[in-house]
Chain A
Amino acid sequence: MDVEFTSEDQAFRAEARKFIEDNYPKHLIGADRGDLSKEDFLAWHKILAEKGWVAPSWPEEFGGTGWTVTQKYIWNEESAAFGTIPPLPFGIAMLGPVIYTFGNQAQKDWVLPGIKSGETWWCQGYSEPGAGSDLAGLKTRAVRDGDDYIVNGHKIWTTLAQHADWMFCLVRTGAEGKPQAGISFLLIDMKTPGITVRPIITIDGGHEVNEVFLEDVRVPAEHLVGEENKGWTIAKFLLGNERSGIAGVARSKKAIDRLREIARGELEDGAPLLESSDFARRISELEIDLTALEYTELRTLASESKGQGPGPESSILKIKGTEIQQRITELTMEAVGNYASPWVPQLDRGDNYRAIGPDHAEGVSQTYFNTRKTSIYGGSNEIQRNIIAKMVLGL
């Protein structure tokens, strides 16, 4: 047991930090994810791609960095501490591993480079109106017609589909047996005729998710990943990957630092709010819980570096990580007091818009409302608890 970093690790940390400081686009420092353009989302991604650091988790042969588990951890920490906009997960974290694990050579050759360079923007077409937690209940159908599939159906909650070039999609190709048995994994060009994307506005006022309607969409059969009707294996594999890193410890640390900064600037009866015993106590409780989570993550990391994959214990990381994120955003909103109330969505701000209240109050309530999503998506926290009950406790 050892929680010290080696001198190589320290050196790597210094290198990583310097690289970020020197190269991170100035105009994106401190930017709020809520109001980024497509170019903004991709700016840092492209710089990382050039450096060869965009996909640290991939095997080296496909363009990974070859870092140790610890180095990856350090990289995440440094990125979070600086507050970088992370590369979008859909390509790097989700689809990439699916392609290099299940894809054929042709698919590897065209999909992976596009993900790395940022040329191709992917979105995730899993959920449907009738299939959320019960993903296997999905109904979007793909029927074979010569060299093509013809796809009909309706996907929902598709994050940032409005920017997407391609979508990886779960579709029903078979009706026999268990619902899980008739599902396939298909790559669909978003420019294909028959696809309509309709925005869904969320309670924070943002446009992050969409509905995607598919009407007689022709998809070349070569875009099937893996075998027909074996998509569920791939889907589950992907969900596992989606969960690792979901704890977001480093980013929560950063958010607590910011919270503390805000509480230092807010006054209660003339004294900094941070000196209020109630408030200070609640921050401390958060920090302690976060430390517990950090060490839980380090433990799973240690077993991962010994070659064991992330087990169902990673559900703990998802649950605790998202609950902590939600508490931080809630406390941050509380910290700014009355100035949590003003609500001027980006879209409605005219040229002579003046910020209301202190700068640090900007957007805190939007963030609070947006963060409610984290306990719903990526396998809701109820589903995660069910998983722990079944897989860990044997219930």
Chain B
Amino acid sequence: MDLSYSAEDNAFREEVRAFIKEAFTPDIRRECERSKNGYISKDLHITWQKRLYEKGWAAPNWPVEHGGAGFTPTQKFIYTHEMEAAGAPHTIPFGMTMVAPVIMKFGTEEQKAQYLPDILASNVWWCQGYSEPGSGSDLASLQMKAEDKGDHFLCNGSKIWTSMAQHADMIFCLVRTSNEGKRQQGISFLLIDMNTPGVSVAPLITLDGPAKDQQEINQVFFEDVKVPKENLVGNLNEGWTCAKYLLEFERGNPYSGGLHRTLDKLRELAGDIEADGASLLENADFSAKLADLERQVMVMEATELRIFSDVSAGDNIGPGSSSMLKTRGTELQKDVSELAMEAIGQYGLPFVEDTLASTNESDIGMAGVAPITPRYFNVRKTSIYAGSNEIQRNIIAKAVLGL
């Protein structure tokens, strides 16, 4: 047992920091700091991901043969942690961390050659078409139909909550190809070009009040959409296997770096807020709440270190651990956003239209407050998506406790 990093690890950390210093340019930083929902403009996302690509770091999770970064587990932790701590953009996950591993595992050689390089280089924007109006936690009940028409599938139905679909070139979908047998057995995994005739996207407006075209989620409609046969990944009616494989990858992320940063910002902000003639930081109750959150983030970090120091690249951390990280991490995100909103008091009330809160004019009262309340509302999502926290508890109950 030993908490110290090796000299190589420390050197790597310095390299990551140096990279961030150079690549995380003020234009990107500004939008990251002020975005209501964690997304920035499409072009900046792409700029950032291309910078990572050039450095060879676009895909920390991929095997080296496909262009993965080849990090050790500790390096991967350091990398993610530093990125989070700097507040750098998240890599848009739908291509890089969701569909790509599925293609690597279940795709044909042609599919690998066709899709993986463009994902790695961020040439193509993907979105995830799983959820439907009638199928959320109970994903296996999905209804979107794909009929076999000889040389193509004819798709009809609708996907909902589709993040960033308005920017997407491609969508990967779970579709129903059979109604026989168990519900899980009639599902297939299909890649669909968003420009195909019959595909349309309608925005959904979330609580944080996004500006036009800056919405986070959408409903995607499919009306007699023809999808070439070669876009099927894996075997027909075996899409559920792909889906489950992917779900594991959605959760095993570290949260503590980002939480640390948000709390540091909050501490700074609270130092500037006056309460009863002193700084809010000197208020015993507030500082106790802040300290307790800082402590809980420390716990989170210790847990992450413990879990991630133990897995190597390409491996899953196991259902119990990933469910626990997801549950605790998102709960903390919500708590932190709540304390931030509490801290700014009445300046939480003004509503800012701009999703990126990109100008200082949007700060009424004091600098930096505009995105705080919208974030509080937006972050409610984290315990709902990627397997709601109730579902995560069900998973732990079953997989770990054997209940």
Contacts and interface: CB of A to CB of B under 8 A. Distances in A.
7 contacts: A277-B284, A277-B285, A277-B288, A278-B284, A278-B285, A278-B288, A281-B285
B286 to A, nearest CB: 10
A286 to B, nearest CB: 15
Contacts of A277: 284-285, 288
Interface string A319-349: 0000000000000000000000000000000
Nearest to A281: B285
Interface in A254-284: 277-278, 281
> Does more than half of chain A's interface fall in helix, strand or loop, or is it mixed?
helix
A281 B285 CA distance: 8
B295 to A, nearest CB: 14
Contacts of B285: 277-278, 281
Contacts of B288: 277-278
A277 B288 CA distance: 10
Interface of A: 277-278, 281
Nearest to B287: A277
Interface of B: 284-285, 288
B10 to A, nearest CB: 39
Nearest to B283: A277
Contacts of B284: 277-278
A242 B190 CA distance: 60
A228 B18 CA distance: 85
Nearest to A277: B284
A278 B291 CA distance: 13
A281 B284 CA distance: 10
A281 B288 CA distance: 11
A392 B284 CA distance: 41
B281 to A, nearest CB: 14
A283 to B, nearest CB: 13
Nearest to A276: B284
B61 to A, nearest CB: 42
A277 B282 CA distance: 12
A109 B285 CA distance: 61
B2 to A, nearest CB: 35
A352 to B, nearest CB: 44
A133 to B, nearest CB: 18
B197 to A, nearest CB: 45
A278 B285 CA distance: 7
A281 B283 CA distance: 13
A277 B284 CA distance: 7
Contacts of A281: 285
B56 to A, nearest CB: 50
A118 to B, nearest CB: 48
B278 to A, nearest CB: 13
Nearest to B288: A278
A278 B284 CA distance: 8
Contacts of A278: 284-285, 288
The 3 tightest CB contacts between A and B, nearest first, are A277-B284, A281-B285, A277-B285
B88 to A, nearest CB: 37
A30 to B, nearest CB: 34
A20 to B, nearest CB: 39
B3 to A, nearest CB: 31
A278 B288 CA distance: 8
A73 B288 CA distance: 40
A372 B299 CA distance: 29
Nearest to A278: B288
A287 to B, nearest CB: 16
A281 B292 CA distance: 15
A277 B285 CA distance: 7
A278 B292 CA distance: 12
B275 to A, nearest CB: 13
A128 to B, nearest CB: 25
B282 to A, nearest CB: 11
B342 to A, nearest CB: 14
A229 B151 CA distance: 71
A281 B286 CA distance: 12
B292 to A, nearest CB: 11
B403 to A, nearest CB: 16
A158 B206 CA distance: 55
A278 B289 CA distance: 10
A256 B285 CA distance: 21
A359 to B, nearest CB: 30
A64 B288 CA distance: 53
B290 to A, nearest CB: 13
A325 B288 CA distance: 25
A2 B285 CA distance: 36
A96 B288 CA distance: 52
A342 to B, nearest CB: 29
B265 to A, nearest CB: 25
